[in-house]
Structure 1
Amino acid sequence: MPQRIPTNIITGFLGTGKTTTILHLLKNKPENEQWAVLVNEFGEVGIDGAMMTEHGAMIKEIPGGCMCCTAGVPMSVGINALLRTQPDRLIIEPTGLGHPKEVTAKLLSQQFAPYVELKATLALLDPKYLLNEKYTKNQNFNDQLESAQVIVANKVDQASEMELAQLAIWFESFKYTHPLDEHFLQLVTAINGEISADLLDVERASQEISADASEPHHHHHADLDPQFALPPGEKYVRKENKGQGYFSCGWIFGAEYQFNFDQLFSMLSALTAERVKAVINTDQGCYAFNVSNGVVSVNQMSLEGFESRLEVIDSQLMPWQQLEDVLLSLIIE
């Protein structure tokens, strides 16, 4: 390879807007550049990759938990496959429930250091989370923020004055306890993940990384190159996962099936789960659905012949069979 590939980790807890941010960056990247994205999702069904593929990026997905598990094999295979295409930039999106330290350590290892130029790690943060102990006492949440050189306070348009004030207080305290020198830290604000691509070129400050220092976490053997093809004759498949106090359930439906858009939107609006993502073929076209904090966002896509996918994540075990029955009832016969 003629030169090392500029690489960024974009991390952040569930619902902070990582995928939206990466989509914004892909839409605004230089036209003459080819970017690659390695996506890791907690759920067993790949959703993010389908959204990004439409923007011309080369995508590799590692579903079902932390990409660093199984001795880093899934991550190594994914990165190698993307580097062989010689992209102009590589972006890695770890799961919102994952520890970024192992990913950083792998990229700085002798295996990848000759090929990867690791730039700043960006951690997305929803200011609302700073007032909720469910997040502030979560080890993964704190590990993600401590791994970053740039913290992106996203969704500031949805934050109250008190939440924004708490953000400023928190950052002043945080930068003095951060493993990095305070002068290497940046705090930027964003709406809908709209950040400047210049942040990707921020240099990564020197920092000792030990993958062994992370807390124990859920290990799951992910497929090295999952395709999620439905078995012949099967209408749909369901896949479940659990770990780190969270449960997920995902469905893949054959490309020949369409869902009633209005009924699907109503169903997603009524779901109380913490995180819902979907790319669905409907009677009004193919749409990406994103549900966070009770708000449903919808974006039309140009995909054709695509298998519909839906993933639900919550800290409580939900009645998956009941939800499945509802989904099946929304299919237009």
Structure 2
Amino acid sequence: MGIPTNIITGFLGTGKTTAILNLLKTKPADENWAVLVNEFGEIGIDGAMMTEQGALIKEVPGGCMCCAAGVPMSVAVTALLRTNPDRLIVEPTGLGHAHKVLATLTSSQFVDYIDLKATIGLVDPRNLSIEKYTSNQNFNDQLAISDIIIGNKVDQCHVSDIDAFNDWVTNQTPPKIFSQLVQQGNFPSELLGIPRRDSSPSSEVAAHHHEHAEQEPQFALEPNQTHVRKENSGQGYFSCGWIFGAEVVFQFDELFSVLSDITAERVKGVLNTTNGCFAFNVSHGVVSVNEMSLQGFESRLEVIDNQLLPWDQLENVLVNISTLSEK
């Protein structure tokens, strides 16, 4: 019998990582779970946020997981399966082609080792009325392959957004197995055990091209560097990520202010500050902050937007609001 596996998908900012963190917090104490994380950027923010929850984490950085599916994804999945986890969760990037991730997990390579359960798709109901999202092929594909639809961030939605979600779910053909409106990515862990619909992923997945170097190794700091940066682009989006050495400490209030002022579609980071280590998450102009117990951690920040931003200027600001702690 294969290892129970779920894909948890959704576009940028829908709360996939928060949902997985919630699931990890409530998993049975006697079970070992593994998580395969892919991010459009290059520095692995999500994996860093999950390290405290006791799951085995593997990351495929640098764009669509399906772009790297030929080697990196298969290697990562195989490595996780060899640890014989009780459950595997796969989180593709919000800009990923979910059809190809599904096709890989149901391929002959893994058919004897993976018991693929229902794919869970998260959506921010507000996005169902915004043409920028509804015209995006990845946005639609991610929801199309999802057996279960979770409308997240309902606490930030208007009545019209809720109506749009309910209308969208009602009009789906074939119908979804289950749907629910939630806050903070909190949905019942029992949903992970629901079998997926008896259907095969479409073989007619549109070809796509990226400018990012998905085959390059994940970058890291050199001994004499306090920070390093790397950029990525593809599918009409641009990302810039930074790693700052563990000795770099940011002024908390100034950092919060800077992140609040960034007019990008997605801002996510785990950073050492004068108040401790915190995970920062910015979506729809709202900054959420969660304290973490990490120590000696290299700070990471990723910014994603549909236009090229002044990365040099932002980097200078970040450097100016940080200090070097004594070793």
TM-score where L is the length of structure 1: 0.94
User: Does structure 2 retain, via aligned residues, the 8 Å contact 1:62–1:224?
Assistant: no
1:77 is matched with which residue?
75
Per-residue CA distance 1:74-128 (angstroms, 9 max, x = gap): 1001101111111100000000001111111111111001000000000000000
Indicate whether 1:332 and 2:323 are aligned.
yes
Q: How many residues of Structure 1 are paired with residues of Structure 2 in the alignment?
A: 324
SS in structure 1 opposite 2:121?
strand
Counterpart residue identity of residue 243, structure 1: G
The answer to whether the 8 Å contact 2:239/2:302 transfers is yes
Equivalent-residue separation in structure 1 for 2:178 and 2:319 (angstroms): 47
Q: Which residue of 1 aligns with 2:208?
A: 216
Q: Spell out the pairing of 1:122-141 with structure 2 (5 A cutoff).
A: 122-141=120-139
Query: Displacement, 1:217?
Result: 4.2
The residue aligned with 2:301 is 310
Report if aligned partners of 1:97, 1:140 keep a CA contact under 8 Å in 2: yes
Of 66-75 and 160-169, deviating more is 66-75
Give the distance between the partners of 1:270 and 1:256, measured in 2 at CA.
Answer: 25
Aligned to 2:119: 121
CA distance in 2, matches of 1:238, 1:231: 12
Q: How does 1:55-74 map to 2 (within 5 A)?
A: 55-70=53-68, 72-74=70-72
**Contact 1:11 1:124 (8 Å CA) reproduced:** yes
The alpha-carbon deviation at position 257 of structure 1 amounts to 1.1
1:234 is the counterpart of 2:232: no
Q: In the alignment, is the contact (CA less than 8 A) between 2:8 and 2:92 conserved in 1?
A: yes
The percent of aligned pairs where both chains have the same amino acid is: 60
Moved more, 209-218 or 32-41: 209-218
Structure 2 CA distance, aligned partners of 1:244 and 1:35? 32
Q: Whole-Å Cα distance in 2 between the matches of residues 118 and 298 of structure 1?
A: 33
Structure 2: stretches of 5+ with no match in the other structure: none
Other-structure match for 1:165: 163
Distance in 1, Cα, partners of 2:16 & 2:265: 15
Cα 1:85–1:275, aligned 2, differ >3 Å: closer, same or farther? same
C-alpha distance in 2 between matches for 1:211 and 1:41: 24
Q: Does 1:188 align with 2:180?
A: yes
Is it true that 1:284 corresponds to 2:275 in the alignment? yes
Measured after TM superposition, the shift of residue 222 of structure 1 is: 3.1
2:148 matched residue in structure 1: 150
Q: Give the Cα–Cα distance (whole angstroms) in 2 for the partners of residues 144 and 167 of structure 1.
A: 15
Which stretches in structure 1 are left out of the alignment for 5+ residues?
Answer: none
SS of corresponding position for 1:106:
helix
Q: Secondary structure at the match of 2:282?
A: strand
Corresponding residue SS for 1:97: coil
Give the match for residue 270 of structure 1: 261
- Describe the SS at the equivalent of 1:258: strand
RMSD value over aligned CA atoms? Answer: 1.4
TM-score normalised by the chain length of structure 2: 0.96
Q: Following TM superposition, by how much is the alpha carbon of 1:209 offset from its aligned partner in structure 2, in angstroms?
A: 1.3
Shift of 1:172: 1.4
Whole-Å separation in 2 of the counterparts to 1:321 and 1:34 = 42
Change (3 A) 1:211 1:224: farther
Distance 1:224 1:5 in 2: 30
Moved runs in structure 1, 4+ residues, more than 6 A?
none
SS of the residue aligned with 2:195? coil
Q: Distance in 2 between matches of 1:10 and 1:274?
A: 20
What corresponds to 2:109 in structure 1? 111
Query: In 2, are the aligned partners of 1:78 and 1:224 still within 8 Å (CA)?
Result: no
User: Which residue is equivalent to 1:201?
Assistant: 193
